[in-house]
Amino acid sequence: MAELNSNRPVAGYDDDAIITLSPRDHIRLRPGMYIGKLGDGSEADGGIYVLLKEVVDNSIDEFIMGAGKRIEISVEGDKVSVRDYGRGIPLESLADAVSKMNTGGKYGGEAFKKTVGLNGVGVKAVNMLSSHFLARSVRNGEARTVTFSQGLELTDRRESNVSEANGTYVEFVVDREVFGDYAYNMEFVEQMVKNYSYLNLGLTVVLNGKPYISKNGLLDLVNDTISSEPLYAPIHLSGDDIEVVITHGNGYGEAYYSFVNGQYTPQGGTHQAAFREAIAKTIKEFYHKDYEPADIRTSIIAAISVKVIDPIFESQTKTKLGSKDKEEGVTMRQFVGDFLATNLDNYLHKHPETAQTLQRKIVENEKERKAISGVQKRAREVAKKVSLNNKKLRDCKIHFTDKHELAEETMIFITEGNSASGSITSSRDPRTQAVFSLRGKPLNCYGKTKRVVYENEEFNLLQAALNIEEDMENLRYKKIIIATDADVDGMHIRLLLTSFFLQFFPDVIRLGHLYILQTPLFRVRNKKETHYCYTDEERQTAIKKCGAQAEITRFKGLGEISANEFKEFIGDGMRLDRVRLTKDDPIKDLLDFYMGSNTPERRDFIVSNLRVEEDIIENLKMLN
């Protein structure tokens, strides 16, 4: 063994290699440990939104403790400010509270209960990751203001006899030295603000001058989220430390919105798992039928909010609850289960029409499941027998190990044709990037039942590769990326695949996993520089930069882009458009029109809206 390793270089390892970082330096060097990831603001879970949330959470905690009913948030360019009207941070501790790690008032005692700011980390991370940070506290006519840059204190000012209302004001600019270029997407900020209002009745949150207030809590959230009429009026139940809303739609999948102490937990956790289990158990007992849980929950749209003393989250970003106990002696499973066993059962007894509608939906789901059970079994056998790694799926290496620390980075490219999949496969990062290769155009599945997912080889193998047949909890990739040619056929494949997910696996879109890869239309280069252009405007700019020696290539398909060039497009600079689903999207109407059987209407629409590029017109004139 020594001989085998004798030629390997050995790195130096002595006392000089041991380094102790200050908390500030550690946060700036390893921000992902504190805020999950950086990002440029194009995704709702990006670091800039986590930092904003950390500041707002402190103000929410003040409201929860009965201090202050209004929070004002301003986002102007890269400057963000949050003003609450709570008790104000104690003046003598202000500088320490915003700059010294593990310092805060939430380690026990009566000052804060059932809050989410537990670790004394959040606002300090904001401070140390901001090029400008200001905190001001006002308490009974006295005020103190401290400013920092990158976590280093600049000024400290005290004032007396001020006329401002009590509370805390925080202003910050996220540091571009750490984050690079970024921009706030106000739709993401607005949704965050709406969630705060849904979960805190009586609170007014003002975003850039516009007030948000909820009168019906989670019921407002569900009604604002549903894009089509539910099968029955949402069931809204509230109790001590718990609130739930339950209804069903007409599609597939399960949609849950879960919260802990006002904190949105998009990855769920023990409270959501207990909720899913308790719904199935309570409904089975109500009807005295041994229904399959999947038949009960298919097409469910639900929300749950619980309040817990000292919740345990699985990371500092608090996106998944790990607490198994509601409180000492009572498990989360017992707490949620007992609440639904009493209140949901009572509701269904008092509302027989809702109970009948719900049972009809369960029976329909059961019939469809049984009708495709044989096909489903054979499809699973096919998926197991087919060598996905050789024929359809080039998986990423992380799935062949027991280590899943990089699960957040995993992605799969769905592409069509051997040349395109070959180029992507050769240029991808095999550690975290997988490729699934389609054979030609997939089937238009709009209006069909889920049976087609198992009967169609492409769809069957795709769902097997993604591991989403049963539910979304086992999804193998954080990002599912449709990578097609930038032409009419490529656009058609995008629509067909998007229709597939909308029809049968809407949670893939609802939870933000589906993306479109933008690939360049042009390459403009000379002997010194190369520019890849995604629009005609970018092409014109590149031509000016390259001058008279510019060589212009129009990429008609992914297969024309070499593997080396692909590394430019599927690495850190990858341009992705997230496929999003909101209440305002008329999904059924859009799919009816674009994917339905109304071919003449669609043809007339295309003809009447046809746009011919100016350069094509000029070329035609030259030919004439």
Instruction: Please check whether residues 420 and 284 belong to one and the same domain.
Output: no
Instruction: Please check whether residues 202 and 266 belong to one and the same domain.
Output: no
Is the residue at 489 inside a domain?
A: yes
Contact 312, 320 (CB under 8 A): no
Q: CATH number of the domain that 402 lies in?
A: 3.40.50.670
DSSP code of 274? H
Q: How confident is the model at residue 316 (pLDDT cuts 50, 70, 90)?
A: low
Q: What is the pLDDT of residue 405?
A: 46
* CA distances to 5, 489, 609, 616 from 612, in Å: 65, 17, 10, 7
Joined tokens for residue 8: 């390997």
Among candidates 482, 464, 462, which has minimal Cα distance to 474? 464
pLDDT at 353 over 80: yes
Q: What is the pLDDT of residue 403?
A: 47
| pLDDT above 70: percentage of residues in the chain | 83
Average pLDDT over residues 396-401: 72
Q: What is the pLDDT of residue 39?
A: 81
- Domain end: 349, 366, 383, which one? 366
Average pLDDT over residues 332-354: 93
| Choice between 118 and 225, residue whose per-residue pLDDT is larger | 225
E strands in 539-607: 551-554, 576-578
pLDDT at 163 over 50: yes
| Choice between 187 and 117, residue whose per-residue pLDDT is larger | 187
Average pLDDT over residues 152-180: 94
According to DSSP, the residues that pair with 530 across neighbouring strands are 525
Q: CATH number of the domain that 231 lies in?
A: 3.30.230.10
Q: CATH number of the domain that 48 lies in?
A: 3.30.565.10
Instruction: Please check whether residues 197 and 267 belong to one and the same domain.
Output: no
Joined tokens for residue 257: 């919105």
Contact 133, 98 (CB under 8 A): yes
- Domain end: 333, 366, 399, which one? 366
Overall domain count for the chain: 3
- Domain end: 317, 350, 366, which one? 366
The 3 state secondary structure assigned to 296-344 is: HHCCEEEEEEECCCCCCECCCCCCCECCCEEECCEEHHHHHHHHHHHHH
Q: What angle do CA 419, 411, 40 make, to 5 degrees?
A: 110
| Choice between 582 and 396, residue whose per-residue pLDDT is larger | 396
Is the residue at 525 inside a domain?
A: no
Give the domain extent around 233.
Answer: 218-366
Instruction: Please check whether residues 199 and 289 belong to one and the same domain.
Output: no
Q: How confident is the model at residue 319 (pLDDT cuts 50, 70, 90)?
A: low
Distance of CA 502 to the CA centre of its chain: 17
Q: How confident is the model at residue 577 (pLDDT cuts 50, 70, 90)?
A: confident
Q: What is the pLDDT of residue 328?
A: 63
pTM of the model: 0.74
Q: What is the pLDDT of residue 553?
A: 87
Instruction: Please check whether residues 93 and 205 belong to one and the same domain.
Output: yes
Instruction: Please check whether residues 444 and 576 belong to one and the same domain.
Output: yes
Is the residue at 614 inside a domain?
A: no
| Choice between 348 and 469, residue whose per-residue pLDDT is larger | 348
Instruction: Please check whether residues 461 and 510 belong to one and the same domain.
Output: yes
Q: What is the pLDDT of residue 171?
A: 96
Q: What is the pLDDT of residue 585?
A: 60
Name the least confident of 197-206, 463-472, 556-565, 609-618: 609-618
Of 302-316, 330-344, 558-572, give the range with the top mean pLDDT: 330-344
Q: How confident is the model at residue 2 (pLDDT cuts 50, 70, 90)?
A: very low
pLDDT digits (tens, 9 = 90+) for 415-442: 887 777 888 888 888 888 999 988 888 8
Q: How confident is the model at residue 252 (pLDDT cuts 50, 70, 90)?
A: confident
Instruction: Please check whether residues 48 and 186 belong to one and the same domain.
Output: yes
Joined tokens for residue 196: 């705060």
Average pLDDT over residues 328-341: 85
Average pLDDT over residues 605-611: 67
| Choice between 112 and 102, residue whose per-residue pLDDT is larger | 102
Instruction: Please check whether residues 113 and 247 belong to one and the same domain.
Output: no
Instruction: Please check whether residues 142 and 157 belong to one and the same domain.
Output: yes
Is the residue at 64 inside a domain?
A: yes
Average pLDDT over residues 82-92: 93
Residue 136: which H helix or E strand, with range? strand 130-139
| DSSP one-letter string for 87-106 | S---GGGHHHHHHSTT-SS-
Q: What is the pLDDT of residue 1?
A: 43
Q: What is the pLDDT of residue 33?
A: 77
Is the residue at 18 inside a domain?
A: no
Is the residue at 547 inside a domain?
A: no
Q: What is the pLDDT of residue 31?
A: 77
Q: What is the pLDDT of residue 621?
A: 47
Q: How confident is the model at residue 173 (pLDDT cuts 50, 70, 90)?
A: very high
Instruction: Please check whether residues 40 and 59 belong to one and the same domain.
Output: yes
Is the residue at 545 inside a domain?
A: no
pLDDT at 58 over 50: yes
- Return mean pLDDT, the chain: 82
| pLDDT above 90: percentage of residues in the chain | 32
Instruction: Please check whether residues 90 and 110 belong to one and the same domain.
Output: yes
- Among all chains, which residue has been given the structure tokens 């600079």? 573
Is the residue at 524 inside a domain?
A: no
